[in-house]
Amino acid sequence: MYKILNDSEIHCLECGGPVYGRPDKKFCSSSCKNKYHGHLRYTRDKMKLLEMDYLVQNYCILETIMCLDKSTCSLESLKSMGFCPEYVTQVIKKGKHLEYRCFDFSYSISGGRLSGLRRID
């Protein structure tokens, strides 16, 4: 059984118009429902692409450091190259410190330095 709601009770999540029908309805029409969920999907996919861009950028920077035969580098110089330390693929607790991974690279961060950079087999 459907109930007609007053205009002030429930409003459409997409357009803000009144919602009539079932008391748990959230949208005034299927087009508003599709627009709302399409926008959510677009925003979620955009965030995924942005995060992947940061991860790829970090990977390229770490690869450059490895090509220079370095296993340690200051975090400030990495940040100036565009490195974003908050974007990693995995964090593992090893004893008293944390080991960060960016795809097949492993490293530690302490005292403003990235150290122990190595490739994982």
Compute the C-alpha angle 46/50/54, nearest 5°. Answer: 170
Global confidence as pTM: 0.72
**pLDDT number for residue 5:** 47
Is the pLDDT score of 2 beyond 50? no
For 98-119, b where at least 16 C-beta lie within 10 A, e where not — what string? Answer: ebbebbebbbebeeebbebbee
**pLDDT number for residue 31:** 96
**pLDDT number for residue 69:** 92
Q: What is the pLDDT of residues 42-81, one digit of tens each?
A: 999 999 999 999 999 999 999 999 999 999 999 999 999 9
Q: What is the pLDDT of residues 96-116, one digit of tens each?
A: 889 999 999 999 999 999 999
Of residues 87 and 8, the one with the higher pLDDT is 87
Q: How far is CA 113 from CA 28, 31, 42, 74, 108, in A?
A: 55, 52, 37, 4, 8
d(CA 107, CA 94): 11
Compute the C-alpha angle 82/88/93, nearest 5°. Answer: 130
